[in-house]
């Protein structure tokens, strides 16, 4: 009986999802899975320029407003949320226009190319089980199988 309970507990743990650091927000009819990366614009110019809000200032503002303070305040010594970059003002060498959240409100800002900032990125989620989850599920099923063999 104890191995059966253990098997059920281990199998149940397989379906518990780990804490996610992403925030899903919907603007219009599109859902965005927002995560963050930290570094300079020059380092992440390619990924930042491929975001759906690049060259779309209104969308950048709407997403910064929708995220609000739900991702904490990683920028400016705990005073601002992740930056939604939407325009490079100087070929990756001058400043980048963005919106970020301060005190719950989206605020326009410019970031120098060499400044280390926490940027918002859209990373669409894909439902793929982690290898650890599959291992826990397998262990739980093995324990259930062993408990049945003992009874027979």
More confident residue, 24 or 77: 24
Per mean pLDDT, which range of 3-17, 40-54, 63-77, 79-93 is the poorest?
Answer: 3-17
Question: What distance lies between CA 139 and its chain's CA centroid?
Answer: 29
Please indicate, yes or no, whether the overall pTM of this predicted structure exceeds 0.75.
no
Could you read off the pLDDT of 105-114 as tens digits, one per residue? 888 988 887 8
- In three-state form (DSSP H/G/I as H, E/B as E, the rest C), the secondary structure along 3-56 is HHHHHHHHHHHCCCCCCCCCEEEEECCEEEEEEEEEECHHHHHHHHHCCCCCCC
């Amino acid at each position: 009986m104890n191995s059966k309970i253990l098997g059920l507990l281990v199998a149940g743990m397989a379906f518990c999802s780990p804490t996610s650091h992403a925030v899903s927000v919907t603007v219009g009819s599109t859902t965005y899975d927002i995560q963050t990366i930290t570094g300079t614009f020059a380092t992440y110019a390619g990924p930042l320029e491929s975001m759906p809000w690049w060259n779309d200032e209104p969308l950048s503002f709407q997403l910064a407003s929708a995220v609000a303070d739900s991702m904490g305040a990683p920028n400016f010594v705990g005073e601002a949320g992740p930056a939604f970059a939407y325009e490079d003002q100087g070929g990756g060498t001058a400043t980048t226009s963005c919106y970020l959240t301060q005190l719950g409100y989206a605020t326009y800002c410019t970031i120098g190319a060499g400044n280390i900032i926490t940027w918002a990125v859209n990373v669409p989620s894909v439902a793929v089980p982690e290898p650890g989850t599959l291992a826990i599920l397998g262990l739980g099923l093995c324990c259930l199988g062993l408990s049945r063999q003992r009874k027979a």
